[in-house]
Amino acid sequence: MLAVALAACSPQPGADSGALDSAIEDTGAMDSATAEDASVDTGALQDVASERPFVPSGCPAPAVIAPTATFTGFLPPVNAEYVRTVDGDTAHFLVAGVEITVRIMYVNAEETSGAEATAFGRATVPLVSQMLRGARLQLVQQRGANGMPNLDGFGRTLAMVFTDGELLETRVIREGLSAYYTQFGCAPAPAHLALLYAEAEARANQRGIWAPGHPTNYAEVLSRWIGRSTCRPNPFMGQPYCR
């Protein structure tokens, strides 16, 4: 059984989710389809990871963002049914009986195939699948110029995803499965601060991609994602999350 530890998200003594990286060794040979079907033993958290105190990030805890919030540039929420996960930031859903591929906005998980694939990226797939499977799902789709859902260059619907009334992206970032992805702009209020504070918490507690020794250089990644944007700070340049 694949035993990949999820990070504890409440401000209580949590677990060292750097164990996620070591547990990922078991998934190195997986492809996306295999990872989708893998059984994730999240109950093994206490067994696989050594406990340590929760480290405050200096920011407020990420707020719970509901799909009923007003998001500038987005359409009203629609109900959806989960079909399958492609990777840590892309999944298929049924909306009004029609299957669509959704690019989950504001996260960018490590790759699962091709030259840039990582074991961490492959291990992220069953974790995101578990978050989606069996949940009450709603999509808040970005509004295109024609008033219809906006699509990216691959024909995927750009949307924020809500599971049981809460923003999925907050959990993905808070558990260290992705940094807050802002290469194409920051999230609208009130989601922006929730995602920023989620990243601050994950980084302070060295979860997932922030664990010591994680092979991906996120100083370089965030420099590329943020570029000249001023809508979010870059912690690797000494810019504080909370001002």
Query: What pLDDT score was predicted for residue 121?
Result: 97
| Percentage of the chain exceeding pLDDT 70 | 79
Query: What pLDDT score was predicted for residue 222?
Result: 97
Residue ranges per domain, the chain? 55-237
52: pLDDT strictly greater than 80: no
Residue 125 has what DSSP assignment? Answer: H
Round the average pLDDT of the chain to a whole number and report it.
85
Q: Are 226 and 182 in contact (CB under 8 A)?
A: yes
Across 82-102, average pLDDT = 98
Q: Residue 243: pLDDT band by 50, 70, 90 thresholds?
A: confident
Backbone angles phi, psi at 165, to 5 degrees: 85, 5
Sign for the pseudo-dihedral over CA of 139, 129, 216, 34 = negative
pTM for this model (two decimals): 0.84
Note the pLDDT tens digit of each residue in 55-77.
999 999 999 999 999 999 999 99
Q: Are 170 and 62 in contact (CB under 8 A)?
A: yes
Nearest to 89 by CA among 127, 63, 116: 127
Q: Residue 20: pLDDT band by 50, 70, 90 thresholds?
A: low
Cβ contacts of 168 within 8 Å, gap of 6 or more: 104, 131, 132, 160, 161, 162
Q: Which fold has domain 55-237?
A: OB fold (Dihydrolipoamide Acetyltransferase, E2P) (2.40.50)
223: pLDDT strictly greater than 80: yes
Q: Residue 189: pLDDT band by 50, 70, 90 thresholds?
A: very high
